[in-house]
Amino acid sequence: MIALTRLRVAVLVTTLLTPTEAAAQQVWVNGALQRAVEDFEDDVIPSRLDGSATGWTIGLSALALRHAVVAIEWSDGGTITDARTTTLEANGRTVTITSALTHRTRGLSLLGGFSHGVSARVRMSYLGGIAFTRVRREFTSTAAGVLLVPPSDRTASAPPIDDRFATLAGGAEAMVRISGHLHAVIGVRLQRIELMPDLTGWGLRTLFGGGWTF
């Protein structure tokens, strides 16, 4: 009887400890498509930087403790383009000028936070940290070719502008186990965007993809 009782206690202790030990070893590699929406503070007219684009994200995260998660991820937000046309009269003729302002946001985020299992298949994580971001802006226009004559119509386009900055970032994600080590991931990220000289806005990214649990 005593031996049987000890066996039951041993089984109970093993059952309680095994999930914690397994969780402490969990490491996830994720890849996802993302939809990035960027909104900048408007002055007199709406900003030409506002818009959305499709990009991708790849990341690595791990449980440092039972519920403490750390993560590093790289994102490419895709190219957001604002194209506009203007029609005017020049030298007795009607001409149409097309201009485009494009920008692309890329960044490396270092995140940490709280993670917990909602069920046997679903895990939620709530993250915060720092995003090291680069935004490249480029402006093109057909004005020179339309309004000027050779060789003045061959003027070079404006050089691209690169902004690099670090801001706070946060978000949340859900990982849903599909089968074995394979899981789906759905998430959202939010960060501040700061461009020179004094342009500021917000970037919101929604993620959908999958990954592998080690």
Q: Which amino acid is at 138?
A: E
Does the pLDDT at position 55 exceed 70? yes
Evaluate if residue 8 carries a pLDDT over 80: no
Instruction: Give domain limits for the chain.
Output: 25-213
Residue 82 confidence class, pLDDT cut points 50, 70, 90: very high
Q: What is the DSSP code (8-state) at residue 151?
A: T
- What is the pTM (predicted TM-score) of this model? 0.79
Does the pLDDT of residue 22 top 70, yes or no?
no
- Separation between Cα atoms, residue 124 and residue 172, nearest integer Å: 7
Band (1; pLDDT cuts 50, 70, 90): low
Q: What percent of the chain has pLDDT over 70?
A: 80
pLDDT at 10: 45
Q: Which fold has domain 25-213?
A: Porin (2.40.160)
In this prediction, residue 87 carries a pLDDT of: 84
Check pLDDT > 60 for residue 9.
no
DSSP 61-101: EEESSSSEEEEEEEEEEEEEEEEEEEEEEETTEEEEEEEEE
Q: What is the pLDDT, as a whole number, of residue 25?
A: 58
For residues 45-71, average pLDDT? 92
Examine the pLDDT at 149 and tell me if it is beyond 70: no
Instruction: Report which DSSP code applies to 22.
Output: H
Of the segments 9-13, 43-47, 88-92, 158-162, which one has the largest average pLDDT value? 158-162
- Res 15 pLDDT > 50: no
Omega cis (within 30) before 150: no
90 or 195, greater pLDDT: 195
Instruction: For residues 35 and 16, give the distance between their C-alpha atoms in angstroms, rounded to a whole number.
Output: 40
Cα torsion angle, 17, 18, 21, 27, sign: negative
